[in-house]
């Protein structure tokens, strides 16, 4: 196979991270249009111009945003074969890791995941937000995705999504003079009632690429 330089160049681009975006229907891609209505009428696009429907942009990120998927495959040993047979997946894991350069209260809340974010008012015109933590609270998930525009194919995008994820990294919030505050987040996929109802092979997440 000959080298195609455009295939190398088109993936040199930053990624934008979104939380809470609309999850595409079963066996559909985040990057496609699909039909929702019973009469075949076109539904809303899941992703328009690289922006997923219902998603909240986490703002500026610093360094790489990395999507990972891994599977543990085991097989069965039988007397009639010197190698294992009946290979099957026993464990799967998907994660998305990135560092946020906008350490807003909302982004810090996403890093803590289990905390409670509230608005408060003080004397005069003073307002703000407070994040409280502690106690055995329920772990709830939300969708997380990263989307990147192809450098050599503007208007077309590649991306990855975890349908239901929680932040596994906790929080380290540094305070230091003269340096930007960076908050690292690591989201890991977990099942929900909705994702378990999807088809096998489409219950955890996806990677997609748009082409002309």
From residue 156, give the alpha-carbon distance in Å to each of 67, 105, 153, 176: 19, 32, 6, 40
Nearest of 161, 150, 160 to residue 212 by alpha carbon: 150
With respect to residue 98, please indicate whether it lies within any of the assigned structural domains: yes
With respect to residue 101, please indicate whether it lies within any of the assigned structural domains: yes
With respect to residue 54, please indicate whether it lies within any of the assigned structural domains: yes
To the nearest whole percent, how much of the chain has pLDDT over 90? 54
User: Is the pLDDT reported for residue 172 higher than 60?
Assistant: yes
With respect to residue 142, please indicate whether it lies within any of the assigned structural domains: yes
- Print burial letters for 54-78: b (CB count within 10 Å at least 16), e (below 16): ebeebeebeeebebeeeeeeeeeee
Residue 140, pLDDT score:
82
Q: Model confidence at 41, in pLDDT bands (50, 70, 90)?
A: low
- How many structural domains compose the chain? 1
- Give the whole-angstrom CA distance, residue 7 versus residue 185: 30
**More confidently predicted of 170 and 152:** 152
With respect to residue 199, please indicate whether it lies within any of the assigned structural domains: yes
Q: Model confidence at 46, in pLDDT bands (50, 70, 90)?
A: confident
With respect to residue 3, please indicate whether it lies within any of the assigned structural domains: no
Domain encompassing residue 85: 8-209
């Amino acid at each position: 196979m000959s080298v195609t330089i455009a295939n190398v160049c088109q993936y040199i681009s930053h990624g934008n991270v979104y939380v809470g975006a609309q999850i595409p229907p079963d066996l559909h891609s985040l990057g496609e249009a699909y039909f929702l209505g019973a009469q075949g009428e076109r539904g809303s696009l899941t992703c328009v111009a690289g922006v997923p429907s219902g998603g909240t942009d986490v703002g500026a990120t610093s360094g790489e945003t990395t999507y990972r998927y891994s599977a543990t495959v085991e097989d069965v040993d039988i007397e009639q074969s010197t190698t294992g047979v009946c290979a099957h997946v026993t464990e799967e894991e998907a994660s998305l890791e990135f560092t946020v350069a906008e350490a807003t209260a909302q982004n810090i809340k996403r890093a803590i995941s289990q905390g409670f974010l509230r608005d408060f008012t003080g004397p005069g015109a003073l307002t703000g937000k407070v994040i409280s933590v502690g106690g055995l609270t329920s772990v709830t998930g939300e969708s997380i995705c990263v989307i990147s525009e192809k450098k050599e194919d503007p208007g077309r995008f590649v991306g990855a999504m975890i349908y239901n994820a929680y932040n596994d990294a906790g929080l380290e919030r540094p305070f230091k003079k003269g340096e930007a505050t960076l908050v690292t987040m690591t989201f890991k996929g977990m099942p929900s009632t909705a994702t378990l109802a999807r088809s096998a092979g489409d219950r955890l997440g996806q990677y997609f690429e748009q082409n002309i």
